[in-house]
Structure 1
């Protein structure tokens, strides 16, 4: 059996009156064996009282046999020979340690996860795993290691990859994949994953500086590509307008010189210093 079942306990306040009655009756009949029996029975009955707080539960066992689970909160009385194991049904928060793992490209990265979970099946949590809280920690770490190996940290064009999902930029997709992976691992313990997301992500220290320079170089190349593309369009437009309005008649050599000068001005990192030519176009 791997399914929990609800147990309906007796109202604890009613049983307080019964126990008090047993004690009073025992004292009144103390001179005979019945009185001693009533007092012993009252003392044994005190072990049956149980308090269940909101979002709490008690798993009941009778000599190793599962009897049921009390999930409703209140003050109750059960068989005093029951073993009562307390399991919280509250949402719990788990922030894993930072793990050093390899991404899809083999680059070492530091990663941690934040997990929000709760117990939904008290039988599985109590009996299908040895320690369900430690089970959550171990399986979460295993899921993070597997997830990190499935995606690259970032998408670099020179790697020949065209990955749509990366650990750095695809936060929602990675979180959904992590939640699914963790839920599959924790289902056998009767645990529901409410939220799973990456809490920390960075390159490992030994390659962090090199990767930072690589990212900067990639950004510079991309910016230069846009600058050159815009400069070519502007030069093309300038030549077209000059030819259309017949402001000046340029031969191929002068067009080449003009294109060269405009490209230098438009693509330069610094402002160009103008030089006024007081002579002819050839000097």
Structure 2
């Protein structure tokens, strides 16, 4: 189980403790489904984001690294948030883009970019989008997720961020409750930021030594209550799919937090 840190609400492994959650969430974790911090090569990540997503046109690799380092430094400087930096942290760049329909944006730009980046980095394995019928009109930002601020920000300029898969073993309702209690620069991760993180670090869910968790797009509500969309490893392959969560928590499930530069 994770040891509680003096710098609550995060434990010594960077997990956000469910101190404000009334909905289902595991108070402690035995860390059976985990991710490993990848080595971050900012030049390589920048090149992937630019090549596959069209991000990084106004932010070069040096600026990318500087802005990501500034986010981490700011979090480390605050005793209440320093412990999150002990966990997995994936830097990403969001392109400047106005999002009129989140589902269409993921279908047309972000999910294909995830697939290209994953298969380029891991040519022996495959990315599969199991969603049939497209996402157009089927995804909406949850009002309490703070994710609308991220989408508004990327509509104005390219933004650098850090993705933290810190809400492990939470139900989606609990993740929404917890993010509301965190400092305002913590945003519940949705589709565009989770995709950008998986393009930056395509092997995030590829584990050969243990089992990775499923990553919910927690900030996005689907067309049906209790149904959500997620990324998941299938063997060493990467998949995108939907499933029922019914407001429950599971040891296998994780939601992410994103922090943007300048916020």
Q: Normalized against structure 2, the TM-score is what? A: 0.18
Structure with higher Rg: it is: 1
* Greater fraction of residues in helix: 1
Q: Normalized against structure 1, the TM-score is what? A: 0.17
